[in-house]
Structure 1
Amino acid sequence: MDTIPLSTLFIALVILLILSAYFSGSETGLLSVNRYRMKFLAEKGHKGAQKTEKLLKKTDLLLSLILICNNLINISASAIATIIGIRLYGDAGVAIATGVLTFFMLIFSEIFPKTIAALYPEKVAFLSSHIITPLSKVFKPLVLLMNLIIKALMKITGLKAETKSHSLSPDELRSIVNQSGQFIPTAHQDMLLSILDLEEVTVEDIMVPRNDIGGIDIDDDWKSIMRQLNHAAHSRFVLYKGSMDENILGILRVREAYRLMLDKNEFTKEMLIRAVDEAYFIPEGTPLNTQLLNFRTNKERIGLIVDEYGDIKGLVTLEDILEEIVGEFTTSTAPSIDDEVTTQSDGSIIIEGSANLRDLNKLFNWHLDTEDARTFNGFILEHLEEIPNEGKICELDGLKITILEVADNMIKQAKVEKL
């Protein structure tokens, strides 16, 4: 070493610092890159992405290779810097070389390259993959030996290597969609988030309540039945005998009833009964994603929700579930949340008691509990545990609620002010 010129040693030291910077930046760039984007680019035929994805499939081997190379380079740089220091300053040169080398390695071989790699992970990863791929073949025996030693040490210490899954949870998918920004239109973001929420929403959350189901009692007089058909607000009716809970005959399509009226000279109750489709029943608590698949499997579009005792709780249609994803259809005859909410000039809000709690939470970014109640009326009654008088004021979940109208044992309308 004494015969090597100082200029050569300095050049070697600079080269080693550059190599150290390369491996430090490569480590950060390869581990910071978006694996899902790499997979997408690799499938499109991008060579750099294909090599990067292959390296990332065995992260432990990749890290071992980079750390082996980086440590060999840093130890060599330290040895050369010590020789230079001794030549220039004698014994004091050891301390001087250690301090100066530490400063330069921190700035130029660690912090700076890792900062650049964190800012441009794809560019760094693509460049590094072309160099590290052949290196991985050269150093493969040494890397495998190191991994065997590490596994043996882990076994001795009782540690277990856990395989990390790179699949995304629903919550992580929500975060990705929310952070997609301009890459995905807002309307599409809302639909994607709604799809992810389907498993958390049950059929009771969106059902038409029992009292609002359009039904025809076959025991009614014929004129009453014809009046209901002629003034039908729905395309389908539940046809039952005596009681909807006890004897449902089926689902009557109004269009089919009209066709029978035109085709037959005499239209009778028996013909009406024969024209119904068999009723399809849905257990309460069924998640929307499950029910959507059930509708498709059973070739159904409408179902009656029943509780554990077999009593009818409500009705849900395929369109209701689709509206949860794409928003309300303009052809819907049911009142929308905008029809049930009126904002006043003083900032207060007039809300109909029948308004859906989930829709209110979405509209105003509230966090009202939907576990025990589905409507705003139910939410208030659940907390008050009594039917209030008109004019009663209460405070619930940060809202000041004034009861405006009560009828038929229900809160019809209330004024809400944010506290």
Structure 2
Amino acid sequence: MDDISTGALFSLLVLLLLISGYFSGSETGMMSINRYKLRHLASQGHRGAKRVEKLLDRPDRLIGLILIGNNLVNILASAIATILGMRLYGDLGVAIATGALTMAVLVFAEVTPKTLAALYPEKVAYSSSILLRILMKLLYPLVWFVNGITNGFLRLLGMRVDNMNDATLSSDELRTVVNEAGSLIPRRHQDMLLSILDLENVTVEDLMVPRNEIVGININDDWKSIVRQLSHAAHGRIVLYRDNIDEVVGMLRVREAYRLMMDKNDFSKENLLRAADKVYFIPEGTPLNIQLLKFQRRKERIGLIVDEYGDIQGLITLEDILEEIVGEFTTSISPTLAEEITPQSDGSLLIEGTANIRELNKSLNWDLPTDGPRTLNGLILEHLEDIPDSILSVSVAGYQMEIVEISDNMIKLVKILPAQLQKTG
């Protein structure tokens, strides 16, 4: 290089630094790009996205190519810087060139391009993929050889390299993605997506209408009582049983009963039983996502939840599960949360003991424990370990509560203090 002028060597050194910056920025841009956005754009026919996706199919080869190019350029730049240093400063120039080149590489070939690539990964990746694709074809034998050696070492360490591009998401990771979508997805839609993801963590007992609130008709009642109950039925289907709710004999569609009423000759207990559908039983502990699929496959809309002994624990409908996803409908078998909460002038809330804890947490942004009882009544009774016989105040999970009404061994009404006084800690 003695025949090359100092100015030409300076120009070549600057060019090598720019090339090194290109490789550094390309690496960061390629590795920082949003893979899911990339897949979407590629499926829409975006040329740059297709090129990048093709290169990222084998990230080991892409990294190998970039590092080969970067190291070759940096080594050549180091040699030129050494020659320039010795020309200008003699033996001391070696140390000066080393320090100056190190600073130049850090600023212009590493930190600056990588920062820009991290801020604008799509722009950097799409543009740099054009040259990288050409270099991959030209240097493929060298890339293949280097990757063969490195992958061999990885296998000796017990690492697999055949599935390194696994970009699947777990439920928790997908939940984080939805939460961070921000204004890209309307808040209402985010809530629905998160509710769908939460279905696997919620069981049918969390949403069921409790056994004591199931609306049913005792088929052994006198005929006038049965007719009166059918005439005033508030729901589309009614449970038919004999004396005890555990002795269920069918699920009657009220409209079918009305049809029988039109023909007095057909309107009898026997015909009501014949018109009733077979009861669909659901084991307790069934996750909502599983139950939703079962409702769909069996073409059912309602089921009775039973425990391990076959005793009925409650009732759940398809609408209950859909409400968990999209919010409350205008009609429901069980009372809505709004009907169970009465705001007071002092800022406190009167809440019925049957209110579901999960719904309270969700609606009021509270943090009551959900790993035990499912109702406010059950939570307080578990805390007290006794059924109170008089009105009293109690602090449960940091929330100050006042028991207002007790009857039938249940806490019927609870008063919870204003929000600023709820959390004692």
TM over 0.5: yes
1:262 aligns with 2:290: no
Residue 160 of structure 2 corresponds to which residue in structure 1?
A: 161
Secondary structure (helix, strand or coil) at the match of 2:416 reads strand
1:209 aligns with 2:224: no
Structure 2 unaligned residues grouped into runs of 5+: none
* Equivalence map 1:393-412=2 (5 Å): 393-412=393-412
CA distance in 1, matches of 2:251, 2:154: 66
Specify the code of the residue in structure 2 equivalent to 1:327: G
Q: Is the 8 A contact 2:207 2:320 kept in 1?
A: yes
CA distance in 1, matches of 2:224, 2:402: 44
Specify the code of the residue in structure 2 equivalent to 1:143: V
TM-score, scaled to structure 2 = 0.95
Secondary structure (helix, strand or coil) at the match of 1:377 reads helix
Residue 182 of structure 2 corresponds to which residue in structure 1?
A: 181
Residue 225 of structure 1 corresponds to which residue in structure 2?
A: 226
**What is the CA distance between 1:366 and its match in structure 2?**
2.4
CA distance in 1, matches of 2:347, 2:266: 59
**What is the CA distance between 1:155 and its match in structure 2?**
4.4
Q: Is the 8 A contact 1:389 1:403 kept in 2?
A: no
Residue 245 of structure 2 corresponds to which residue in structure 1?
A: 244
Specify the code of the residue in structure 2 equivalent to 1:83: I
CA distance in 1, matches of 2:158, 2:93: 43
Residue 141 of structure 2 corresponds to which residue in structure 1?
A: 141
Residue 276 of structure 1 corresponds to which residue in structure 2?
A: 276
Residue 289 of structure 1 corresponds to which residue in structure 2?
A: 289
Residue 196 of structure 1 corresponds to which residue in structure 2?
A: 197
Specify the code of the residue in structure 2 equivalent to 1:140: Y
Secondary structure (helix, strand or coil) at the match of 1:406 reads strand
Q: Is the 8 A contact 1:85 1:94 kept in 2?
A: yes
Task: List, as ranges, runs of 4+ consecutive aligned residues in structure 1 with deviation greater than 4 Å.
Answer: none
How many correspondences in the alignment? 417
Residue 46 of structure 1 corresponds to which residue in structure 2?
A: 46
Secondary structure (helix, strand or coil) at the match of 1:338 reads helix
Q: Is the 8 A contact 2:21 2:108 kept in 1?
A: yes
1:6 aligns with 2:1: no
Note the alpha carbon deviations across 1:15-37, whole angstroms, 9 max, x for none.
00000010000000000000111
CA distance in 2, matches of 1:118, 1:345: 53
**What is the CA distance between 1:137 and its match in structure 2?**
1.3
**Higher alpha-carbon deviation: 5-14 or 180-189:** 180-189
Q: Is the 8 A contact 2:209 2:333 kept in 1?
A: no
Specify the code of the residue in structure 2 equivalent to 1:201: V
Identity, in percent, stands at 61
Q: Is the 8 A contact 2:342 2:350 kept in 1?
A: yes
**What is the CA distance between 1:154 and its match in structure 2?**
3.3
Note the alpha carbon deviations across 1:84-132, whole angstroms, 9 max, x for none.
0100000010111111111111111111111100110000010111110
TM-score, scaled to structure 1 = 0.97
Structure 1 unaligned residues grouped into runs of 5+: none
Change in Cα spacing, 1:79 to 1:272, as seen in structure 2 (3 Å) is same
CA distance in 1, matches of 2:244, 2:392: 37
Note the alpha carbon deviations across 1:120-153, whole angstroms, 9 max, x for none.
0000010111110111111111111112221333
CA distance in 1, matches of 2:39, 2:251: 49
**What is the CA distance between 1:390 and its match in structure 2?**
3.5
Note the alpha carbon deviations across 1:379-407, whole angstroms, 9 max, x for none.
11122111123331221111111111111
